[in-house]
Structure formats: structure tokens, C-alpha cells
Structure 1
């Protein structure tokens, strides 16, 4: 079978891989769609993401959906042929974080397509993949695989909104209108936010944020834009740059909450720490997700607006062109690879 493998920075290949067979407790899934994530782009362009560096070739991809093929010994789940989404995380279940109900920050987790550990955890960008059977989720009635491919990034967005506390009736600022930022907009509106303002440097990205439900979009490089709020109740940083965090800290109200969702560059990042002190701002991190995956699938099944965030579907053979497109935010929001084309 064929798979999308990263060998190093700027070295993305469609390689022939051995066909897998499910082991005990595992399910075999025929992958149909895989979403190109920002972390996939970082592995491609920089050979790593944050502090996680490539040390060996790795199959990319953790945003995957497909159909069940078969099960290994002792495994069960949705019937073969059922359309499913794959939860990409396998927490250890025994560390203090897992015991505390925070499996998303498990210190020994395995996550599809991640170089956080060596050997790396191979991802799901291949024609077939084996995963623990308990990670399969049958799609809600009426939800098609194409839209369901957004389940993983939407889960990330829902977790970030949850980390902010209740946003019902509040004004939420989102810095960064990439795919995750746009999904944060949708998640905040679904959670009852009264108003969502989004900032970004690119007008094309802001147009996607508007489609996701933003009430106001603002050019981040235009201090005279009349859309800038005087203050907000909650700010969620989704750009992954220090300037975005600075904007959040300066615009959130005294005693407000800032959630850092975007992965900042490796090493030290400056931030306006004095504001955290003098305004008693609560600065919280948001990393991946856990139970939000089921909520994401339910939300995707209930709202059509998400279709507008999928800007392209590219066959696996054109993987590199798909990555080029996904990296160009002036031309795309979420790009999917099609493994069944």
C-alpha cells in the first residue's frame, strides 16, 4: 500500500509500505480522508514541531477517517464496513495525569504521527492503518466522511474553549484564523459566546473565520481597524506566534482568561508577564483533547457550516502539492488527502 512519509525537512515522499494486519485488541481501518494539520506542515518544513524533532522516517497524519475492515483477537467495535473516525491518542492510563482525568497531557501517551517519542509513533496517512479498537468512533447518522475529517481539529478547538471556562454570553477574542482558529470560532459560538472577534494578517484567512461564525474580523497589522475591541472577556491564542499572545494579554479584561492554544516556536518566547500580575489575568494552556472527540462528531453532524472550511481534497499521489496548498493560507483553510481516490 501507499503512505505519506516524512524523511526530514523538505523531504516528503509517497512510499510503498507493507500492508498491516490487526494484532490483539486492534482494528484495521481503510483510511479515506486525512486532514493536513499544522504539525504535519512543521515536520515537512522544519523537520520537527515545537520541541519534537524527527529522528527517523515517519508516516504523518492524525486527522483520519475511514471504514472498518477487520479486528484482531479480542477486539470488537463497529461492524466491518462502518464509517468511523479515529481518536488519535492512546494514553497510558496509569500515570498521575491519567489518574487525575487529564489524559490529554498523559506523560507516556502515544499519538498518531508524532515524533515526541523514539521510535516515533507512525501516523495514519496510509491506505490502511491499525489502531486500538477502542479508538474507533462510528459516525453519527447523516455525517459523511469528508466533513468528519474535521473531528480531530474541532476537538482541539472544543478543548481550548472548555479550558477558558464558560463563554456563554461573553465576548471572545481569537488570534489567528488558520484552520484551528476558525474551528475555535465555531466551538465558541456553539458554546454560547455572544460575540467572537478574530484577528489575522491575511484577509483570505479572515474570510474563512467569517464563514465559521465570527461576528467581527480584524486585520492584525491595522491598529486603526474599527473592529478592534476595547476589551474582551476571554482570549484564545491560536496563531502560535508571540505577537498573538501579546495581543490577547493586552485586550483581555482585568481578571479575564487567556488560553494559549497555538504551539509557540521552540525555546523561550517573550510575553507581557507584568500584565498577568497587575491585571490578575489567568493564562492557561490547552493541549490536544480527550472526551471532546465525541462532542466534535456530534457538532459536525448537526451543522453544515463546517463544509465551507474544507478548501481542497487532493489524491494521495499529489501529497506534496497538498502540503504546499495547506501551507499557503492565502489559498486554503483545511486541506484533505484522499486515500480512496
Structure 2
């Protein structure tokens, strides 16, 4: 058992692939007059955290030195730099965990999520937020309204991912949307699409329990694909949901699974929009002829950009998206390793880890 104290900076560290440990690190200091010091209250476990733990890297981001995990966090500001004006000690905030350079063409065009100099929490070599205290720029801290809990605040990060995906899909009132994958981001895509006014939102997943949850949460319809071709599953989905032969206005893949992507391009209508939000294998086979013949607009979606975090907070504050329903449970910081095992095993939707000073 590892004990933590009220001023502890106990951190959950990935030493190397399959090797995690608790480590008491020095409490960080504010180095920029525009930065704040945040006591982390709650952190959600993301699939990328589990992937780094299991595989030691994602794409070109390889863990070469010990790294603190976690990036879905909310906390309380305990100190501010001399030029901070937007927040103050005691404010409860959702943390946007990626900080761009603010000067490159991507940043200046409003697409800071594409900044080549992005410093993103728990992406090598940057430490994450599964720790006692964390420093952040004030403009990437979003105050939570009094009626929004810190637990909800920890889910603003995956909700902002969903907001960005739905923006990429250009969802309009009355449209039909199919979301492939009913993990946390897929479920939140369903909820955001509903908030945008979509009349039909279909959640598709191979796990029946997740589809059932999706229809109780935000989806209007559920679909469980069979072991069949993408074209066959698409035909059955369109028939069962009542979309006819025309197809869906927009299809979002939040799974990264090759069969889902193959099905998606047969589900989307002529002239429709397809968005790839889930990450999977580096190279896949997909029906390129369907993409061409139907003149599908295909887009990628990466993290979140300007305004996405603010909108995510607004959606929770207004009650349009109830992220509380996704919280499976909260565990003590000292139980982080067990929580990671549970997420790896596919148990629950979203597990939160309380900060080491949260009692």
C-alpha cells in the first residue's frame, strides 16, 4: 500500500512497457507568469493510456523514459502566475491537456490540434495528469459552473473529442447519423449528434451490452453487426433502421476497426460525409470504389480544436449531454493499477481515479 498526504505529488508512472509504479515526485512550480498550479481531483482512463501501458508506444510516440500517465482530468486551482487574470485559486477547472506553440501556420489558422510542436499530456516525452499537482496555461483551463461536478469535469476531455468529430461531420438538424463503436467517444458522439439536432442516431457495436447502453443513453437505434462482409452488414443496418437504400447523411467511425470502416462506406449516402475518429491499424483495406462512386466527403478527426472544449463544458452545463451516466465508478489513487486492469478487460464505460490528495 502506498500512502499519500494532503500535499502529496504521488504520480502513477509508466516505467516501461507493462511496468507501472507509484512515485512521489517534486511538487511542480509555476515557471510562466501565465501558468497555474492545479491540484488534480479526478482523472479518467483513456484507451491511449492503456495502449501505452500494454505496447509502450503509439505510432511514432515511443515511451523511452518513465512517463506519468493520464490526460482526462479536472482539478482545483491552488496557485496562479503573476499575469493570470481569467482564473483564481479555488476555481474548479477542466484541463485541456494539449498545449500548442501558438505561432505556427496551423495554430494561427485556428487548427492548433495540428500543431507540430504540440505538448500533449501522457504523450512521450510529456508527463500526464495522474499526479497530485499539475501546471497548465490559464487559457487551457476551463472553469466549471457551480452545478457541474469535478467528476463530470474529468469527462470534458473525451466529450471535446466527440464535439470535434461531430463538427467534422457537419451534422445538421434532421439528419441521420450512424456511429460505429460504442466506447466512450462513440457514445459521446451519439449524444453530441443528438444535441446538434440529428433525428436518427444509430449506434453500432459488436458488444450487445454496449449497444443496449447506447440506446438508453443517446442513440435512437442500435445495431449489432454479424460476421459478414461490410456490404452485407451495411444492407442489414439500413433495412433494420429504416434508412432504405439511400443511406445515412453522415457516418462516424469511433472504433478504428477495419470491418466497421468497410461497413461505414457502404452505409453513408451518396454525397454524404464520413469521418474517421477512431484509431486502429496503420494500414487497412477499405471499399475505395464506394468512396469514389458516391462522392463521399471523407475526413479525419484528431483530438479537438478551437472552441471544442468550451462547447463541451456548455453541453454538460446545459444538461444536453449527461456525462454522469458514463461513469462506471471512482477508485482511490492507490488503486490505479487495478483500474487500468479493469479497463483493459473491457469492464464498464469510464473509470475515474481520484487524485492522491482526494479523500
TM-score category of the 2 structures, normalised to the smaller one: over 0.9
Secondary structure at the residue paired with 1:210? helix
Preserved contact between residue 246 and residue 271 of structure 1 (Cα < 8 Å): yes
Preserved contact between residue 314 and residue 337 of structure 1 (Cα < 8 Å): yes
User: What is the TM-score with the length of structure 1 in the denominator?
Assistant: 0.94
Residue 317 of structure 1 corresponds to which residue in structure 2? 334
The ranges of structure 1 where at least 4 consecutive aligned residues each deviate by more than 6 angstroms after the TM superposition are: none
Q: Is 1:75 matched up with 2:84?
A: yes
Residue 18 of structure 2 corresponds to which residue in structure 1? 10
Distance in structure 2 (CA, Å) of the matches to 1:13 and 1:261: 31
CA-to-aligned-CA distance 1:13-54 (integer Å, 9 cap, x gap): 222211112112221100000010111111111112244221
The 3 A distance-change label for structure 1 pair 227 and 323 is farther
Distance in structure 2 (CA, Å) of the matches to 1:52 and 1:209: 32
How big is the shift at 1:332? 0.6
Secondary structure at the residue paired with 2:162? helix
Q: Is 1:20 matched up with 2:20?
A: no
Preserved contact between residue 212 and residue 306 of structure 1 (Cα < 8 Å): no
User: What is the TM-score with the length of structure 2 in the denominator?
Assistant: 0.89
Q: Is 1:268 matched up with 2:277?
A: no
Residue 292 of structure 2 corresponds to which residue in structure 1? 277
Which residues of 2 match residues 106-121 of structure 1 at below 5 A? Answer: 106-115=115-124, 120-121=125-126
Distance in structure 2 (CA, Å) of the matches to 1:271 and 1:52: 26
Greater C-alpha radius of gyration: 2
Preserved contact between residue 158 and residue 185 of structure 2 (Cα < 8 Å): yes
Secondary structure at the residue paired with 1:141? coil
Preserved contact between residue 28 and residue 130 of structure 1 (Cα < 8 Å): yes
Preserved contact between residue 171 and residue 193 of structure 2 (Cα < 8 Å): no
Q: CA RMSD in A?
A: 1.6
Distance in structure 2 (CA, Å) of the matches to 1:93 and 1:15: 33
Which residues of 2 match residues 123-272 of structure 1 at below 5 A? Answer: 123-221=128-226, 223=233, 227-228=240-241, 229-230=243-244, 231-265=247-281, 267-272=282-287
Distance in structure 1 (CA, Å) of the matches to 2:134 and 2:330: 20
How big is the shift at 1:310? 0.6
Preserved contact between residue 23 and residue 73 of structure 1 (Cα < 8 Å): no
Preserved contact between residue 50 and residue 263 of structure 1 (Cα < 8 Å): no
Residue 43 of structure 2 corresponds to which residue in structure 1? 34
Secondary structure at the residue paired with 2:330? strand
Deviates more, 1:267-276 or 1:71-80: 71-80
How big is the shift at 1:110? 1.1
CA-to-aligned-CA distance 1:230-255 (integer Å, 9 cap, x gap): 42110000001111111110110111
Distance in structure 2 (CA, Å) of the matches to 1:292 and 1:253: 27
Structure 1 unaligned regions, length at least 5: none
Preserved contact between residue 144 and residue 153 of structure 2 (Cα < 8 Å): yes
Aligned length: 335
Distance in structure 1 (CA, Å) of the matches to 2:74 and 2:180: 29
Secondary structure at the residue paired with 2:223? strand
Structure 2 unaligned regions, length at least 5: 1-8, 228-232
Residue 325 of structure 2 corresponds to which residue in structure 1? 308
Preserved contact between residue 18 and residue 54 of structure 2 (Cα < 8 Å): yes
Distance in structure 2 (CA, Å) of the matches to 1:312 and 1:56: 31
Distance in structure 2 (CA, Å) of the matches to 1:176 and 1:31: 30
Preserved contact between residue 171 and residue 250 of structure 2 (Cα < 8 Å): no
